């Protein structure tokens, strides 16, 4: 005898189509009608893109180390940051600049992080940012799960958010975070920003699952998929998941479908493995154009405002670059800072030896 003991589904959500039109105005979330809020988020998306272009130029001219572009991810990243409260914890990867900027990280700090040997690679972890800056792939999901467990044990109404890519979602760390969130009923939101490429490996060759959101089901968590180029959908999904976690209803997984319009990093050349037609088609669905068309149709935006905004973005980025370039390198001892409250004995000994060699 065969009996079905469980069945599942993954819902896909989109509110703004690529032409900037609301698919179902009557059922759209409130933010779709809040043009003032959308304009502020649109401004940040444009600031992120202006910054991103400048950072690539700095790397190409030898003024920045290897840099990971976020071109095409702006809606997903800005939505993640905007849905969070200041007291929540963000555990990103390495290209979620929109979320980081929304939460108070300065552009000059991001440049310092990517500065490499030229600038001492010395991002300073300011406590007010309240996030763990990571370059590993997927381990940040477990960091976020640990933070979420602390929030729960302390009975604090705070939420931890981790961001991982499609490739990172294949790592054991991501699956372990799902299991921990399920077992301990954690206030955690796991976001998969699916940009279709794990460096040079396309999504279709990573696994045979119809969606990445369904990985949540193995831990008994809800999982949904949204259009990652639709700011309205991304904001709606994040706000819903965060409030669910904040009110003790547990963790969830959101897959945001977008596309990596840039190379993986400035050390990569995606033309070697990615069809040009695929990239060209992806540009037709990119997030900034979509939101611009919607705001313009609503009478809340025009070409004059657009140019003024772009000029302001350029000035802010230039000021950040100047601050970055005028920041002196960190002293050698700084490499031992910001990780431990009290240095373990072996690292303390290394620090002493390093400082003695400088004398």
Question: What predicted TM-score, i.e. pTM, was given to this entire model?
Answer: 0.91
How far apart are the C-alpha atoms of 309 and 314, rounded to whole Å? 9
Tell me what the mean pLDDT of segment 12-26 comes to: 96
How far apart are the C-alpha atoms of 284 and 22, rounded to whole Å? 17
pLDDT at 245 over 60: yes
**How high is the pLDDT of residue 326?**
94
How far apart are the C-alpha atoms of 311 and 305, rounded to whole Å? 10
pLDDT at 168 over 70: yes
**How high is the pLDDT of residue 136?**
61
**How high is the pLDDT of residue 115?**
86
Tell me what the mean pLDDT of segment 342-352 comes to: 94
**How high is the pLDDT of residue 132?**
45
**How high is the pLDDT of residue 358?**
82
pLDDT at 1 over 80: yes
Which of 95, 143, 260, 274 is catalytic? The answer is 260
pLDDT band at 329 (very low <50, low <70, confident <90, very high): confident
How far apart are the C-alpha atoms of 27 and 5, rounded to whole Å? 33
pLDDT in tens, 296-323: 999 999 999 999 999 999 999 999 999 9
**How high is the pLDDT of residue 333?**
85
**How high is the pLDDT of residue 331?**
85
Q: Which residue has the tokens 């000035």?
A: 315
Least confident of 12-16, 137-141, 145-149: 137-141
**How high is the pLDDT of residue 103?**
97
Tell me what the mean pLDDT of segment 153-166 comes to: 98
Tell me what the mean pLDDT of segment 105-111 comes to: 96
HEC string of 211-255 equals CCHHHHHHHCCCEEEEECCCHHHHHHHHHHHHHHHHCCCCCEEEE
**How high is the pLDDT of residue 90?**
97
Which of 60, 85, 273, 352 is catalytic? The answer is 273
**How high is the pLDDT of residue 129?**
46
**How high is the pLDDT of residue 291?**
98
Q: Which residue has the higher pLDDT, 238 or 340?
A: 238
Helices (H), the chain: 35-60, 74-83, 97-102, 107-113, 116-119, 139-153, 172-184, 231-246, 276-283, 287-297, 303-325, 345-358
In Å, how far are 58, 74, 292, 294 from 300, measured between CA atoms?
34, 20, 10, 9
Could you confirm whether 143 is annotated as catalytic?
no
pLDDT at 160 over 80: yes
* Beta carbons within 10 angstroms of residue 343's beta carbon: 14
**How high is the pLDDT of residue 135?**
54
**How high is the pLDDT of residue 119?**
46
Tell me what the mean pLDDT of segment 260-265 comes to: 97
In Å, how far are 83, 140, 146, 155, 239 from 152, measured between CA atoms?
20, 18, 10, 5, 19
The vertex-132 CA angle with 241 and 166, nearest 5°, equals 55
**How high is the pLDDT of residue 126?**
40
How far apart are the C-alpha atoms of 191 and 187, rounded to whole Å? 13
Mean confidence (pLDDT) of the chain: 93
Give 291's contacts (C-beta < 8 A, 6+ positions apart). 16, 20, 38, 41, 42, 45, 75, 231
pLDDT at 128 over 90: no
Query: 329 near 119, Cβ under 8 Å?
Result: yes
Could you confirm whether 264 is annotated as catalytic?
yes
pLDDT band at 122 (very low <50, low <70, confident <90, very high): very low
**How high is the pLDDT of residue 338?**
79
pLDDT at 7 over 70: yes
pLDDT at 235 over 60: yes
Which of 129, 264, 274, 285 is catalytic? The answer is 264
* Beta carbons within 10 angstroms of residue 183's beta carbon: 10
The vertex-43 CA angle with 40 and 46, nearest 5°, equals 155
Query: 214 near 178, Cβ under 8 Å?
Result: no
Tell me what the mean pLDDT of segment 322-334 comes to: 90
Query: Dihedral of the CA atoms 354, 333, 325, 267 (nearest 10)?
Result: 70
Query: 138 near 165, Cβ under 8 Å?
Result: no
């Amino acid at each position: 005898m065969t009996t079905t003991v469980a069945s599942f589904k993954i819902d896909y959500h989109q509110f703004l189509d690529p032409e900037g039109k609301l698919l179902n105005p009557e059922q759209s979330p409130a933010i779709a009608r809040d043009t003032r809020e959308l304009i502020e988020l649109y401004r940040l998306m444009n600031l992120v893109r202006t910054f991103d272009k400048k950072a690539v130029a700095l790397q190409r001219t030898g003024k920045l180390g290897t840099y990971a572009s976020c071109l095409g991810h702006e809606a997903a990243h800005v939505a993640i940051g905007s849905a969070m409260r200041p007291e929540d914890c963000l555990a990103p990867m390495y290209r979620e600049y929109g979320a980081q900027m929304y939460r108070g990280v300065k552009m000059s700090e991001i440049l310092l992080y990517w500065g490499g040997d030229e600038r001492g690679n010395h991002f300073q972890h300011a406590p007010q940012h309240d996030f763990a800056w990571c370059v590993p792939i997927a381990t940040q999901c477990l960091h976020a799960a640990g933070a979420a467990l602390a929030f729960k044990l302390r009975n604090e109404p705070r939420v931890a958010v981790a961001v991982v890519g499609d490739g990172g979602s294949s790592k054991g760390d991501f699956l372990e975070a799902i299991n921990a969130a399920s077992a301990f009923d954690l206030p955690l939101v796991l976001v998969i920003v699916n940009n279709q490429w794990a460096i040079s490996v396309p999504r279709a060759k990573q696994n045979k699952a119809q969606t990445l959101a369904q990985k949540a089901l193995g831990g008994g968590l809800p999982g949904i998929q949204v259009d990652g180029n639709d700011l309205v959908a991304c904001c709606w999904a994040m706000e819903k998941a965060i409030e669910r976690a904040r009110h003790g209803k547990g963790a969830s997984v959101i897959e945001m479908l977008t596309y990596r319009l840039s190379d993986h990093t400035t050390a990569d050349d995606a033309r070697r493995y990615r069809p040009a037609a695929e990239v060209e088609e992806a540009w037709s669905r990119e997030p900034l154009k979509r939101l611009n068309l919607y705001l313009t149709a609503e009478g809340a935006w025009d070409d004059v405002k657009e140019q003024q905004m772009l000029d302001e973005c350029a000035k802010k980025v230039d000021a950040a670059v100047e601050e970055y370039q005028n920041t002196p390198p960190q002293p050698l001892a700084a490499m031992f800072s910001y990780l431990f409250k009290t240095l373990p004995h072996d690292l303390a000994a290394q620090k002493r030896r390093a400082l003695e060699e400088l004398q």
